[in-house]
Structure 1
Amino acid sequence: MKLMIKIAVIMLAIIGLTTFFLRDSLFQDKPATEATTTGSRLEKITALPNEVEESSGVALLANGTILTHNDAGNKPYLYLLDAKGKLQETIKLKVPNVDWEDLAQDDDGNIYIADSGNNNNQRKELAIYKVDLAAPDQVQAIRYTYEDQTEYPPQKKDRNFDSEAIFWNNGNLYLVSKDRGQGATAKVYQLPDQPGNYKARLIGSHKIKAKITGAAINADAAQVALLSEGELHLFRDFSSVDKFYEGKYEKRELKGAGQTEGLDFIDENKLVITSEGGNLYHYTL
């Protein structure tokens, strides 16, 4: 018995010494997974005001304030928030909110409201409203249909004529489709930013297993970010904005962010994101 006790003591001593000398390798942090890495980059700033029950689009204005709106069936109002998410002003517009989905902004500060939600792919009265916030009563309408849509609605597998994502660049508006048929392809359409009636021109697509809910482009037009539920999709190193979908693509998870709907660039390294669940986030690239 005494021999066995001695052997046990010696073994415990060996294990203790081994643990001490190898402690750095045994207990160092494991490499972060993609979800862990991106989770640390996502910061919840605040809950959105009660007035913004279903934030669907967001635009960051030049003075650092945030513009957002609610989804379909809500009042045609834009909500101006400060950087911490506190409501500053409600801008009431005299146009319908059939299904407002996203916001874009041009170099002159005009805001584009995408009344482009088309869940059943049967709408023929799609519109983008151009608004000067200094004169909100003078709204201009850019009305359109998709050049490649011939059925209203098409068969379920072909229902890729909904768009919840828009951004502006160099006189053009870019709409990115939400593939409700197969959830496999984001199509990219282009429209001029002037009022009128148009056929949205299909300029390309990207195979992406996600339903896109928002879009933004950074100030120097070097990065395009798309959003889906709980995911961020980044495009860089493209030859032109018209072909951003051919650039270097990277997907990142937004762990815990829920139904993410709107985004915009704060600067080249940071995004502001809103969720339909009512939260305001920052995400560091």
Structure 2
Amino acid sequence: MIKIFIVFLSVLAIAFYFLRDNIFPEATTSEVATDKFETLAQLPHDVQESSGIEVMPGDGNYITHNDAGNQPYLYEINGKGKLVKTHKMKLPNVDWEDLARDNNDNLYISDTGNNDNKRNDFAIYKVSFSNLKKPEAIRFTYEDQKGKTSKKDKNSFDCEALFWNNGNLYLVTKDRNGSDEAKVYQLTDKPGKQKARKIGVVKMKEAVTGATVSPDASMVALLSEERIHLFQNVASPDKFFKGKAREISITGAGQTEGITFKDNQTLILTSEGGSLFRYTL
């Protein structure tokens, strides 16, 4: 009888191993980055709290910025982390959190941080790389935000993640209410006043600190502290949250905040600790 019981348990364990993805469909596959993840350089002293990064057109340099409490400056750096140029923007920096770029060499600066949950005056600044002196504002509110929010409000409207695709901007919120989900909102890339439309949610326990889409629009990557959440083979970036993330651990990277695709096989990341990283798919 004991032998039969042991055999039964063994069969049950084997069945559970092979069927676990069907039993727990929301589970994600986690892997640890090793030789695929590397530190490229330390960021310049001026960039103490890098919160977003984008690839600049043409020369292969990157552009980054600091977040709340810092000057409204964009810092152009090269692949070795050296400061090439500081672009002093005539814009407020209430809480800059991320950068995005479209196919027409426009840059989008996401002033959407809301740590105290008291804002309802969000903005994304659109500016051409060829003339960074003439930004235009996309001002918006969230369609499900009812007036000003507070720390006691059960909803969260803090956002540190932005990407662009096909004439639209996508915001992914940072969970600050224990719901274990990030909300996804959509705006057009046209300057003016808008309502951010909620189009979906991403189930995840980590707080999202950055987002990017691959040049061929087949992948969306979300960033959290020391972890990349990679959605591959998406039917369309506006539906990425319907897929399952491949989770990549980047232990030791610190408070990772900025992420962008350099090309379809390479991700560039920054941390608030002042480092520039590369992850090769």
TM-score by length of 1: 0.85
Tell me if the contact between 1:102 and 1:113 (Cα under 8 Å) persists in the aligned partners.
Answer: yes
Aligned residue type for 1:43:
E
Residue among 43, 51, 54 paired with 2:46: 51
Distance 1:34 1:145 in 2: 35
Residue among 55, 61, 83 paired with 2:56: 61
Q: CA RMSD in A?
A: 1.5
Aligned residue type for 2:46:
E
Query: Partner of 1:57: helix, strand, or coil?
Result: strand
Distance 1:154 1:93 in 2: 30
Residue 3 of structure 1 is matched in structure 2 by: none
Distance 1:34 1:235, change over 3 A: closer
Aligned residue type for 1:51:
D
Residue 41 of structure 1 is matched in structure 2 by: 36
Residue 18 of structure 1 is matched in structure 2 by: none
1:128 aligns with 2:110: no
- Structure 1 residue 39 displacement after superposition: 3.4
Tell me if the contact between 1:229 and 1:260 (Cα under 8 Å) persists in the aligned partners.
Answer: yes
TM-score by length of 2: 0.86
Distance 2:47 2:179 in 1: 28
1:93-145 CA distance string (max 9 Å, x none):
10100000000001011000000001122211100000113222211000001
Tell me if the contact between 1:57 and 1:69 (Cα under 8 Å) persists in the aligned partners.
Answer: yes
1:235 aligns with 2:231: yes
1:36-62 CA distance string (max 9 Å, x none):
x41332100111000001000000123
Residue among 179, 186, 190 paired with 1:190: 186
Structure 2 unaligned regions, length at least 5: 1-28
Distance 1:234 1:270 in 2: 12
Residue 139 of structure 1 is matched in structure 2 by: 135
1:152-190 CA distance string (max 9 Å, x none):
215647242111000000100000000111161011000
Query: Partner of 1:45: helix, strand, or coil?
Result: strand
Identity fraction in percent: 53
Range moving further from structure 2, 240-249 or 67-76 = 240-249
Residue among 264, 267, 276 paired with 2:263: 267
- Structure 1 residue 237 displacement after superposition: 2.5
Residue 107 of structure 2 is matched in structure 1 by: 111
Query: Partner of 2:261: helix, strand, or coil?
Result: strand
Distance 2:153 2:230 in 1: 26
- Structure 1 residue 151 displacement after superposition: 4.6
Residue among 73, 76, 81 paired with 1:85: 81
- Structure 1 residue 264 displacement after superposition: 0.4
Structure 1 unaligned regions, length at least 5: 1-32
Residue 74 of structure 1 is matched in structure 2 by: 70
More helix by share: 1
Range moving further from structure 2, 192-201 or 39-48 = 39-48
